[in-house]
């Protein structure tokens, strides 16, 4: 097994965001994959979010998107999210995958070049 963190494209990253509607989720997912920013994006069933916004407690039904992408695309993808997300302050949380199967990681690298 090779050390994925030292690879030229870096390790696989997982990024999370939420949007209000399935249509918004599918639009973001389709455009990000088509542009090669992410290898795969999963749109998850509605989740209920509880948060404070402008001093008020809020509750919202949202769709969560799980972006899978290589580290070399991180900055470009974050910039893209900020420009294309329908929210003024979009959630964008990124985690490093501790381990990714080599074949899956190779595929992710190939489709995000």
Q: Whole-prediction pTM value?
A: 0.91
Q: Cα separations (Å) of 87 from 5, 21, 78, 80, 91? A: 32, 12, 14, 13, 9
- Is there a domain that residue 2 lies in? no
pLDDT surpassing 80 at residue 41 = yes
pLDDT surpassing 80 at residue 5 = no
- Is there a domain that residue 81 lies in? yes
Print the domain residue range for 105.
Answer: 10-111
- Is there a domain that residue 4 lies in? no
- Is there a domain that residue 80 lies in? yes
From 59, 28, 61, select the one nearest 43 (Cα to Cα): 28
> What CATH number is associated with residue 17?
3.30.70.120
pLDDT digits (tens, 9 = 90+) for 48-95: 999 999 999 999 999 999 999 999 999 999 999 999 999 999 999 999
pLDDT surpassing 70 at residue 8 = no
Domain tally for the chain?
A: 1
- Is there a domain that residue 37 lies in? yes
Q: What pLDDT does residue 113 have?
A: 83
Q: What pLDDT does residue 1 have?
A: 46
């Amino acid at each position: 097994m090779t050390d994925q963190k030292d690879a030229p494209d870096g390790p696989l990253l997982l990024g999370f965001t939420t949007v209000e509607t399935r249509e918004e989720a599918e639009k973001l997912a389709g455009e990000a994959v088509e542009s090669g920013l992410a290898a795969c994006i999963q749109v998850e069933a509605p989740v209920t979010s509880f948060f404070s916004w402008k001093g008020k407690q809020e509750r919202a039904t949202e769709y969560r998107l799980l972006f899978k992408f290589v580290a070399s695309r991180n900055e470009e993808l974050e910039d893209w999210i900020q420009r294309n997300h329908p929210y003024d302050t979009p959630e964008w949380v990124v985690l490093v995958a501790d381990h990714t199967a080599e074949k899956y990681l190779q595929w992710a690298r190939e489709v995000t070049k």
